[in-house]
Structure 1
Amino acid sequence: ELPLEEGTVAVVQNYATNGRDAVNIIQTAAGIAMTAGQTSLRIADVEWVVNSGQYTPRMEKKIAGTAQVGVA
């Protein structure tokens, strides 16, 4: 069991589009951390997995505060 460094969950949330992606990112990062002999899962490990796996940031749909012409 590896404790998570504060902020690692936020990084995973930004890139995982579903639960399977989230689990894969965490498992890969945990494997790297354990191999390196670390005692916790760091943000840097998760970011390395995201960069190496070529994950793209998840787009969030935002509704504008005012009506816009030509925009659904």
Structure 2
Amino acid sequence: MSFTEFVNDFRIGKACQSLRRGETVAEAAFTNGFNSISHFSVTFAKRMNMSPSAYRLKVSREEKESEDLVLC
């Protein structure tokens, strides 16, 4: 793994946390060191096998489902 790959993996991990907190894709990109939303989206998709928007939606749905289970 190259240094750039290592740094990008770290940034994507932090971006996942940002997206789980409800930040927009643009906020997650810029907060975590990406200067371009398109570069962030491509890098994120390569690492996570889904777009940042899809990840954000997936996490949101999973949280909603777990909240529904707690209420039962």
Length-normalised TM-score, structure 1? 0.28
Q: Which structure's relative contact order is higher, taking Cα pairs within 8 Å and 6+ residues apart?
A: 1
The structure whose Rg is larger is 1
More helix by share: 2
